[in-house]
Amino acid sequence: MKAREVNFDGLVGPTHHYAGLSFGNEASTKHRFQVSNPRLAAKQGLLKMKALADAGFPQGVIPPHERPNVAVLRQLGFSGSDEQVVERAGTQQPHLLSAASSASAMWVANAATVAPSADTLDGKVHFTVANLNNKFHRATEAPTTERLLRAIFRDGSRFSVHEALPQVAMFGDEGAANHNRFGMEYGEPGIQLFVYGRDEVGIAAPTRYPARQTLAASQAVARLNQVNPGQVVFAQQNPEVIDHGVFHNDVIAVSNRQVLFCHEQAFVGQEVLFSTLRSQLPDFTPIQVPTQAVSVQDAVATYLFNSQLLSKDDGSMTLVLPQESQNHPGVWRYLNGLLEEDNPISELRVFDLRESMANGGGPACLRLRVVLTPEEQRAVNPAVMMNDTLFNTLNDWVDRYYRDRLTQADLVDPQLLREGREALEALTRILQLGPVYPFQQ
């Protein structure tokens, strides 16, 4: 058997709500204070996982984080019992309770940057946890993410999980959302493309929205992941598209094997970048979407590029898209034309992920890609791998613990805190994770 790409999707948490916490993410801001449906959000994600697993794409699950994050509220000066901490934060500073209750860890494309064993100097699969320090509601995720990854990828002889970079602006790291890997076969050495938005030396920067990923962070992650230096390329994201709401590279580009599907305005010096990639991978196949066909604004609104590009057994590729791309006449027209052209994309699959989309995350945000050899795949915690039994078990679990309506005002309810902890206690047993959450310590 050959090495395969395994997608590990984030399971949406019970406190999924619309608080507009992510400045620079226009969908997040647009839907602020609307009513969310955590139960539907989790089920939409599970349906995507199961459908792709049934189609032959190996699929795992990464569980949500404990929310509200009582420890960070205590760090901010709220005191008393856990219930009192939540009540006082919600009464005095509701925006802080909202941030501490964010379910944003569901977007595991930001959990870590992954290097497969074929690319690393020590022959292990490496994970460097992202610090996500550009946004307060995400900057607290790293410790739990690290524990979860260690509980899933337990075998220290095959997997190496690194803690997040220092929590300072110089090392702003957003994880795999700003990382691409190219190659022919998954198990062969590939080219890793790290995409950054800013540097400390004054390169052109966006003026409206922040550039979250730094070059220094990308360089540090490449070192930590022990990527062979000859297999690393760094590229700058176009600051103009960041100002249009392209807060991560995976909102404007997606790669798989030899293919890069991207907008023509995705990168600074795009043609030079393509020449560099082509010199290292002769079969490099860029598919550039022209502005005339799809504007950057329409790409952001539909999350055309926040799609999954998956290899089928016959060598062709499936493009997994959010329903919003199908609903936009111009984008859908372009995509159907793409199927008629000479390129590896042979199939479009559309999923309803509107609960995630309204908070600013599409299909690609919800998954962390991990290339694994057959031996490495067998070393993964088997309880997290999607199959009929796990799908039914998790749907029953969601039905038992999740609400079908949640607003920011509901976060102060102490019962929500208790419900969440009961849910995660049950989930750790289902996924055989051990005590990974703060309340279990």
Catalytic sites, residue numbers? 174, 248, 365
Cβ count near 282 (within 10 Å):
8
Distance of CA 245 to the CA centre of its chain: 16
Q: Which of 359, 352, 356, 305 is nearest to 27 (CA)?
A: 359
Packing angle of the helix pair 82-92, 414-430 (nearest 10 deg) = 130
Q: How far apart are alpha carbons 116 and 212 in whole angstroms? A: 24
Is 269 in a helix, a strand, or coil? Answer: coil
Rounded alpha-carbon distances, angstroms, from residue 204 to 128, 211, 236, 238 = 27, 11, 10, 9
Six-digit token pair at 320? 């997994």
Cβ count near 295 (within 10 Å):
17
Count of positions (residues) in the chain: 441
Cis ω on the peptide bond leading into residue 94 (within 30° of 0)?
A: no
Lay out the sheet containing 232-236: strands in order across.
179-182, 191-196, 232-236
Q: How far apart are alpha carbons 153 and 147 in whole angstroms? A: 10
Pairing of strands 345-351, 367-372: unpaired
Residue with tokens 């959450």: 437
Q: Which residues 6+ apart lie within 8 Å of 65 measured at CB?
A: 13, 103, 105, 141, 144, 145, 437
Q: How far apart are alpha carbons 4 and 260 in whole angstroms? A: 18
Please compute, for residue 397, the number of CA atoms within 13 A of its CA located in the half-sphere on the CB side.
25
